[in-house]
Amino acid sequence: EADIYQTPRYLVIGTGKKITLECSQTMGHDKMYWYQQDPGMELHLIHYSYGVNSTEKGDLSSESTVSRIRTEHFPLTLESARPSHTSQYLCASSVPGDTQYFGPGTRLTVL
Amino acid sequence: LAKTTQPISMDSYEGQEVNITCSHNNIATNDYITWYQQFPSQGPRFIIQGYKTKVTNEVASLFIPADRKSSTLSLPRVSLSDTAVYYCLVGDTQDSSYKLIFGSGTRLLVRP
């Protein structure tokens, strides 16, 4: 099993708050990803990174931002949370040409 | 990336073999076929990957015909714990810019 962690697992927060979802992996993987998934729906890629100081937007437009200062760490930030941001956020990592390993996810609820 | 088509849902009973077929008519020469499994409130988990013919591991088998325009994930003797969503993905995993694009998947329900 891969070692990729996400915190918090669950978060309930009020509108307008700034939040950061943490994702870290101990496998030394260069590539990391953030997906957004509503209940029962498809996963959508919102951000990805090919290595330190590399970040790209994914296929689904998102108001969140990411940073990649260290290989093992890929946090996602929402400057001002809104109810429309309520979803599950999944982080993953991989080496080039390899499969992706997913974290357990963060279920975010914005009231 | 090649677009994939899978059945939206399937029902089965414990102990049966389940075959989920995925169509990928415009698969490219360098594309691999990968299947993931996702349980509710968890991230997807890699099941199996193949390029052609047949691949088997401790969890499943993957059958790919010669034209590679489809693939079939075979789960032998399913149990209740195999109830999950199964995703078929196609892409050039050797491409440094490769990104997984998940479709809607196949929702498998295993009944007692």
Return the residue in B34, B35, B46 with the most chain A beta carbons within 10 A, the one to mutate for interface testing: B46
User: Is residue B39 in a domain?
Assistant: yes
| Residue B83's CATH number | 2.60.40.10
Q: Which domains occur in chain A, in start order?
A: 4-110 (2.60.40.10)
Q: Which residues of A touch B103 (CB under 8 A)?
A: 42
Q: Which of A31, A44, A30 is nearest to A90 (CA)?
A: A44
Name which of B37, B86, B93, B107 to mutate to probe chain A: the one with the most chain A Cβ atoms within 10 A of its Cβ: B93
Domain, as residue range, for B90 = 9-111
For residue range A30-75, list pLDDT tens digits in order.
999 999 999 888 889 999 999 999 999 987 878 899 999 999 999 9
* Predicted pLDDT of residue A33: 94
Residue B32 maps to a domain: yes
B3 part of a folded domain:
no
- Confirm whether B21 is domain-assigned: yes
Residue B2 lies in a domain: no
Does residue B4 lie in a domain region?
A: no
What is the rounded distance in angstroms from the CA atom of residue A33 to the CA atom of residue A7?
15
| pLDDT surpasses 60 at B7 | yes
Q: Containing H/E element for A88? A: strand A87-94
Cβ–Cβ under 8 Å, residues A40 and A50:
no
Residue B58 within any structural domain of the chain: yes
Average confidence score pLDDT of chain B: 91
Torsional sign, CA A51, A34, B37, B81: positive
The whole-number pLDDT of residue B12 equals: 97
Who among B93, B96, B102 is closest to A42 (CB)?
A: B102
Cβ of B81 under 8 Å from any chain A Cβ? no
Give how many domains chain B has, as a whole number. Answer: 1
Q: Looking at the domain assignment, is residue B90 inside a domain? A: yes
